[in-house]
A and B are shown apart, each in its own frame.
Chain A
Amino acid sequence: MTMILPSDAAFSSADAAQTRPDARVVEARSTVRLEVRNLCKIFADDPRPALALLKAGADKAEVLRRLNVNVGVVDASFDIRAGEIFVIMGLSGSGKSTMIRLLNRLIEPSGGDIRLDGRNLTALSKGELVEVLRRDMSMVFQSFALLPNRNALDNAAFGLEIAGVGKAERRAAALRALDKVGLSAYADRFPRELSGGMQQRVGLARALAKNPTIMLMDEAFSALDPLIRADMQDELLRLQREQARTIVFISHDAEEAMRIADRIAVMEDGRIVQIGTPAEIIRSPADEYVRAFFRGVDASRLLRARDLARCDDRVVLLDEEADPAPALRRLAERGVGYGYIRGHDGRFLGVLSRESGTLVSGLEPARGDDSLHGLLRRVASAPCPLPVVDGDGRFLGALSRAALLETLDRGGPRHG
């Protein structure tokens, strides 16, 4: 049997939480595509009085009351990274629809910068903006916004047609896009002949046909019934796996956001109140509004073992060694019952019980990508917090019953 030596090396718990390497490309995500700084939208000819009030600490309602001016977005700053699905969510009236329209300047910002790959979009002339929109961005709408006088193929080809691409070429591209969303057999149908879900697939094909690097999706699936919506979410994730695009997705549906988001920004009254991964937001909501927003979400199906695996001072890591005595001494010092043993290559080897002085038998570590839902029984029956490993068998942390119950208890107050 392998013996162990105590080790002070503890993984930072942040490591386990922040990276969620799915099948998608991780490296591409690190570069920032869209950089938004201090973005504001005031619906008034002269935004200055409203901006001054907001600076002085007034909120949206107060500005409306005192100046009769509507506030869309207040001082929003965030980065959207290449290849990620960035979900902006909030209740209606929180400014999320305004926000997405600021990004492609369907609505002109009152202040602030939007940089696409370092280029300031807010400073572009109309003509320059048109070029950027044609090349880089497309948009998908809640009401589909298909042209009723065009069939699916010509709707899908719309963006290319606008950009002056020849008929044969754009139709070929449109047909490929329709094929990607499974609608190539319906190319000659008109929007009125298609169901809602099919219409939105055409909307998606229209957005994909010109092969944009950024897709703006405004409540794209909200008008669809729940089954079709789930279908479309899967479709989007599948398309994203095939080719990672930078997607900004507006939603008011917490389940949807949890399902598709790499990161979520929560908006309230025109301000962004929290930005984080779904797991971060579920685990530590910034305020009561955010907590209430995600209260109904079934965290056990959304969160994965890696999201809850902790590697704090309650989890004692032991190195592979010949003699168990120092390890047991260390466990006694720390007052914990179990120690997690790692090999020299970082792989998880087993759990040492202080009581018996031997490895806990029959303990299968959970995989980082396992959903909590599937682990409930195993966490309940394990004598110690369940070890969690990544795809290569490296130790990520331990999943305790307390952490699990705390997370699943959506209603009550929790520590941050």
Chain B
Amino acid sequence: MDEELSALLGGGIGRWADWLVNRILDHGQPTLDVIAAVVDGFGGAIDGALLGAPPWALGAVVTAAALWRVGKGFALFTLLSLAAIFAMGLWEPMASTLGLVLSSTLLSLLLGVPLGIWMARSRWADGVGATLLDFMQTMPAFVYLIPAVMFFGLGRVPGIIATVIFAMPPAVRLTALGIRQVPVELVEAGRAFGCREHQLLLKVQLPNALPSIMAGVNQTMMMALSMIVVASMIGAGGLGNVVLQGIQRLDIGLGVESGLSVVLLAIMLDRITQSFGKNAPQGGKR
């Protein structure tokens, strides 16, 4: 009886998801094509720029960013890391991964920050959004790959889309949190001086939420990096591909080299994006 019931229910949910995906495939193809074209164009442009640039130029830009945002020591670390990646012959996959991370992070922010603003300002959006985000964050990351492949085939586009879904929640949550944490008297000051809603948002709430939003950007980027490696399973390319090759051939050297490259890239991105959160205006003495 129990088994029957659970089979019925479980099968029901599974069947329902099946049906939904099929409906989308049958009727939503034009929409899917538009999404695919946009994501592909976006990802392709960033990818192309990073891969097209000579390694020394890209290396110089990243090192300069490290020097500007963090400091001399970290700039040296960045330079050495990039040199090591280059020496291991993993420059191209690294640049490709960086491109994928940047494009999925940008897309995540493009969607996530407005969503976070909406959640901060509407109780209804907050309720629905919080549930949705819980869902997005707890669902095993691999599960996103299935519909992504079904809707968009193999390659860069489903990789980016799965990554966006996986990496967006911190951007949304930390934007909403940052706005809600703006001291009540600052918001009152805005209103008392005659702010309209958009002025309140742009001149009072967002600037004061910036440290929190930047923390969200950092989190999103780190999650995007971890997911984009997984997404190599559906042909997203980049360092993840090399890791996958290492696993398939049981090639320890290749596995370590590619894994190390991911770690070095992660450290560089983390430190540089973190610095934006730290240097953003902090609340003064209050």
Contact = CB atoms under 8 A, between A and B. Distances in A.
B249 interface: no
B284 A191 contact: yes
B128 interface: no
A110 interface: no
Interface in A201-220: 206, 210, 216
Question: Which of B194, B203, B285 has the most CB atoms of chain A within a 10 A radius of its CB?
Answer: B194
B188 interface: yes
A163 B196 CA distance: 10
A148 B286 CA distance: 9
A106 interface: yes
Given A159-B194, A190-B284, A191-B284, A141 B189 contact: yes
A106 B284 contact: no
Contacts of B204: 147
Given A106-B188, A147-B204, A159 B183 contact: no
A104 B19 CA distance: 55
B181 interface: no
A133 B191 CA distance: 9
A145 B189 contact: yes
A148 B284 contact: yes
Given A148-B282, A148-B283, A149-B281, A138 B193 contact: yes
A89 B183 CA distance: 24
Interface in B196-251: 196, 199, 203-204, 207-208, 210
Interface in A143-182: 143-149, 158-159, 161-163
Question: Which of B189, B199, B203, B204 has the most CB atoms of chain A within a 10 A radius of its CB?
Answer: B189
Contacts of A159: 193-194
Nearest to B210: A149
A161 B285 contact: no
Contact of B207 (A137, A149, A162, A192): A149
Given A191-B284, A192-B285, A147 B207 contact: yes
A161 B188 CA distance: 16
Contact of A148 (B192, B193, B281): B281
A277 B190 CA distance: 33
Contact of B188 (A101, A162, A193, A210): A101
- Is the interface on chain A under 10, 10 to 19, 20 to 34, or 35 or more residues? 20 to 34
Contacts of A216: 192
A130 interface: yes
A101 B185 CA distance: 11
B70 interface: no
Contacts of B190: 162
A319 B188 CA distance: 60
Contact of A161 (B196, B203, B207, B208): B203
B185 A143 contact: yes
B285 A196 contact: yes
B195 interface: yes
A245 B210 CA distance: 37
B110 interface: no
A161 B183 CA distance: 21
Contacts of B210: 149
B9 interface: no
B186 interface: yes
A162 B192 contact: no
A142 B286 CA distance: 10
Question: Which of A106, A130, A144, A145 has the most CB atoms of chain B within a 10 A radius of its CB?
Answer: A145
A199 B185 CA distance: 14
Contacts of A188: none
A299 interface: no
B192 A133 contact: yes
Contacts of B207: 147, 149
Contacts of A210: 193
B194 A147 contact: no
A231 interface: no
A106 B192 contact: yes
B284 A192 contact: yes
A313 B41 CA distance: 97
Nearest to A149: B281
A317 B170 CA distance: 83
B24 to A, nearest CB: 41
A367 to B, nearest CB: 41
Given A104-B192, A141-B189, A145-B188, A162 B208 contact: no
A114 interface: no
Nearest to B185: A145
A192 B186 contact: no
A131 interface: yes
B285 A149 contact: no
A131 B186 CA distance: 20
Interface of B: 183, 185-186, 188-196, 199, 203-204, 207-208, 210, 281-286
17 contacts: A106-B191, A130-B196, A131-B194, A133-B194, A134-B193, A134-B194, A139-B193, A141-B185, A147-B203, A149-B208, A149-B281, A158-B193, A159-B194, A191-B284, A192-B282, A196-B285, A216-B192
Interface of A: 101, 104, 106, 130-131, 133-134, 137-139, 141-149, 158-159, 161-163, 190-194, 196, 199, 206, 210, 216
Given A158-B203, A190-B284, 14 more contacts: A130-B195, A131-B194, A133-B191, A139-B189, A145-B189, A146-B284, A147-B186, A147-B203, A148-B281, A149-B281, A162-B194, A190-B281, A193-B284, A196-B285
What 4 pairs across the A-B complex have the smallest Cβ distances? A192-B284, A134-B194, A149-B281, A133-B194
